[in-house]
Amino acid sequence: MDSYTLPYTFSQRAQQLTSSTIREILKVTERPEVISFAGGLPAPGGFPVEEINAAFDRVLQQNGKAALQYGPTEGYTPLRQWVADDFKRRGADVSLDEVLIVSGSQQALDMLGKLFIDEGSKVLVEAPSYLGALQSFSLFGPEYASIPTDGGGLIPEQITDTLAAGARFLYALPNFQNPTGVSLNLARRQALVERCAALHLPIIEDDPYGELRYAGEPLPGLLALGRKVGATVVRLGTFSKVLAPGLRLGYIVAPRPIISKLVQIKQATDLHTATVSQMAVYETIKDGFLDRHLPTVRELYKRQCGYMLDAMEEHFPDTASWTRPEGGMFIWVDLPEHLDGSRLLDRAIERNVAFVPGAPFYAGMPKANTLRLSFVTVSEQRIREGIATLGELIRES
Ligand SMILES: Cc1ncc(COP(=O)(O)O)c(C=O)c1O
């Protein structure tokens, strides 16, 4: 039924919502015969089910009444302290009152939209950027300005005075970006925080994948670099990719005035993040579990990424190029100029292979000859089959 025939009226905001391209594609990929590189789900093989089960048991047995009670909006104090200490370990001096626990970093994006964006406010994003962030921000009606990127991530020199004029924030994904898998190189990280400090432009640093590095050297985060030069950095982290996304647990690290406002916003949104999840996650990780667990996840992702890169090397034509990620879950493909990712998808689905075309990841002018491949949840054999089919389709086109 069209919305105008309904006996009630949705807000303008809701009327403008469209369902995401990815969700539409995922409907097709539910068919078991479809080899799907479209999903963005972490590999369930990496979920530490037993440890999380044991942690929930301990929490409920030893502290059940508190675990099932309402809690403070800021989050469970020992977990917030763990986050602050973890940053200290990595060279960023973060204190407890600069940490807010949220129900996944997706909630953080929604809250930051509420905090910073008025109708028509300018927001700077990478081209391409994380689709889920664009969806969250778009509810508040921003005007996007896109920053060009290349194999070294976003290009700080392109943040001209004109581009940045009046912008409320810059949204950046420095590690193994979703969708491209590209990382921002060190020189550009430094240049970015210096540029944003000079412009008084807050940076939102979204980093769900930083811990999933399986090649190359770790690079300092924008929060640590930014604090040295007086840049305002709001850093988003999540337990979705290092433990499990079903926990719906993430955090925001930001200067106190930003955290105070976000606490008010979160209170209005959901009072606080589930106490029992926070306590169980703290119980799971408090004795260094992640240091023991993450190497196995990294190894798994590295192997999966290798299967896909090898198959692409073998089956894709020279006219296509693609990223070689050092971590994370995604490979980004540049097709020959005349090819359109969406049209290729229609033909791929006829052959039972799926991926996400690149265009929806752009806030501005899309590059239609692009696509995103996720390699983490598909078996080696199906990766080879699916990539061989895609290679054929690209050659035929
Ligand atoms: C870049 C990025 N940010 C945020 C999220 C949301 O993660 P969560 O809400 O599970 O923490 C995702 C999920 O895939 C993501 O890729």
Q: What does the pLDDT read at residue 2?
A: 54
CA angle 52, 54, 60 (to 5 degrees): 100
- 77-89 helix and 275-285 helix, angle to the nearest 10 degrees: 40
Q: What does the pLDDT read at residue 11?
A: 92
CB 345 within 8 A of CB 25: yes
Ligand 1, residues 105, 248, 329, 332: which to mutate, most atoms within 8 A of Cβ? 105
CB 112 within 8 A of CB 204: yes
CA distance 112 to 242: 23
HSE value, Cβ hemisphere, 13 Å, CA-based, for 223: 25
Domains of the chain: 3-48+291-396 (3.90.1150.10), 69-289 (3.40.640.10)
Find the largest Cα–Cα distance for the chain: 63
- CA of residue 105 to ligand 1 center, whole Å: 6
Please state whether 181 falls in left (phi above 0), alpha (psi between -120 and 50) or beta. left
Ligand 1, residues 135, 183, 240, 251: which to mutate, most atoms within 8 A of Cβ? 240
Q: Which residue has the tokens 């990294």?
A: 298
Which of helix, strand or coil describes residue 225? helix
Neighbours of 345 (CB within 10 A): 21
Q: Output the ligand 1 site: residues, CB below 6 A.
A: 40, 104-106, 130, 132, 173, 178, 206, 208, 238, 240, 245, 250
Residue type, 75: G
Distances in Å between the Cα of 126 and the Cα atoms of 154, 156, 203, 205, 362 are 6, 11, 12, 12, 8
Tokens of 216: 């190359």
Q: What does the pLDDT read at residue 1?
A: 47
Tokens of 358: 């690149």
Please state whether 28 falls in left (phi above 0), alpha (psi between -120 and 50) or beta. alpha
Per residue of the chain (397 residues), what is the pLDDT tens digit? 455 688 999 998 888 887 777 777 878 888 889 999 998 899 999 999 999 999 999 999 999 999 999 999 999 999 999 999 999 998 899 999 999 999 999 999 999 999 999 999 999 999 999 999 999 999 999 999 999 999 999 999 999 999 999 999 999 999 999 999 999 999 999 999 999 999 999 999 999 999 999 999 999 999 999 999 999 999 999 999 999 999 999 999 999 999 999 999 999 999 999 999 999 999 999 999 999 999 999 999 999 999 999 999 999 999 999 999 999 999 999 999 999 999 999 999 999 999 999 999 999 999 999 999 999 999 999 999 999 999 999 999 8
- List Cβ neighbours of 129 (8 Å cut-off, separation of 6 or more): 146, 171, 173, 361, 362, 363
Ligand 1, residues 109, 134, 206: which to mutate, most atoms within 8 A of Cβ? 206
CA distance 144 to 5: 33
